[in-house]
Amino acid sequence: MNHHSNRPLAPLPINVRPRLGETTIHYVQRLARANHLKPSYLLSILTMPSNTKTGRVKLDRLATLSGRTTDVLKNTLADTAPARPTRVYIHTKATIRIEQTASSKARSHGFNIVGQIKEDARRNKGTLRQIADKWGLPRWLIRRILSPHFPERTSARSTLSERLYSQLVGYHEQGKTAYQAWHDLFDNQDTWVPVSSLQQRFRLLDLERRTARMDQ
């Protein structure tokens, strides 16, 4: 993949507003599609060569291309904090009241309502209005919850859904490599999985295939 980290940048023709609480990767996907670019191509412009398939975007470059300031991106996107944050956000009486209000008034109930709402935003499942309508909560409350500074009870963990697992098995059976699967998922399926995770999964599928052949 050609890299473009040293080229001067200018804002892309079509301006895309970042959604509060979405991940940087989802924003890059939306920005790319609006400007008729492959998400993987835009990601290669926004990262260092070794980070393209890990999704570690250089925020200053994203700010330039999106026509936003880095402060706007930091206060909007869910995962722009440094890997080792100097500040840990903890619950206060105010945030606990917000959490309790969300849990008691939400249309759907269950464990960790705040975490579920944040996950909806991270996975780009609608605008702020749509997320508020889904949960039956006022937009001001959703806006507070989706702030990158609002603490979470549990850390976010990516899980491999049954649908995604079936897709990976299909790629593997077609003889595709982990990199080819990554490109198709990212560019065509709006799905983000780090290449390292795909490589690990493909190694397991290789092992399962070899074991099955030995048992025949």
| Domain of residue 73, residue span | 1-80
Whether residue 66 sits in one domain with residue 114 = no
Whether residue 110 sits in one domain with residue 140 = yes
188's tokens: 């065509």
- A 10 A CB-CB count for 73 gives 20
Whether residue 104 sits in one domain with residue 63 = no
- What is the per-residue pLDDT for 114? 83
Whether residue 118 sits in one domain with residue 72 = no
Q: What are the percentages of helix, strand and coil residues in the chain, rounded to 5?
A: 55, 0, 45
Total tally of structural domains belonging to the chain? 3
Whether residue 74 sits in one domain with residue 8 = yes
DSSP conformational letter for 164: H
Whether residue 70 sits in one domain with residue 106 = no
| pLDDT tens string 137-192 | 899 988 888 887 787 665 444 456 778 888 999 999 999 999 999 999 999 988 88
Is residue 94 within 8 Å of 88, Cβ to Cβ? no
Q: Which residues of 101-133 are buried (b: 16+ CB within 10 A; e: fewer)?
A: bbeeebeeeeeebbbebbbbbbbbeeeeeebbe
Domain end call among 80, 109, 124: 80
Per-residue pLDDT of the chain (216 residues; tens, 9 = 90+): 445 556 678 999 999 999 998 989 999 999 999 999 999 999 999 987 655 556 689 999 999 999 999 999 999 998 886 544 444 456 677 777 888 888 887 776 666 788 888 878 877 667 888 888 988 889 998 888 888 778 766 544 445 677 888 899 999 999 999 999 999 999 998 888 888 888 888 988 888 888 777 766
Q: Which residues contact 101 (CB under 8 A, 6 or more apart)?
A: 141
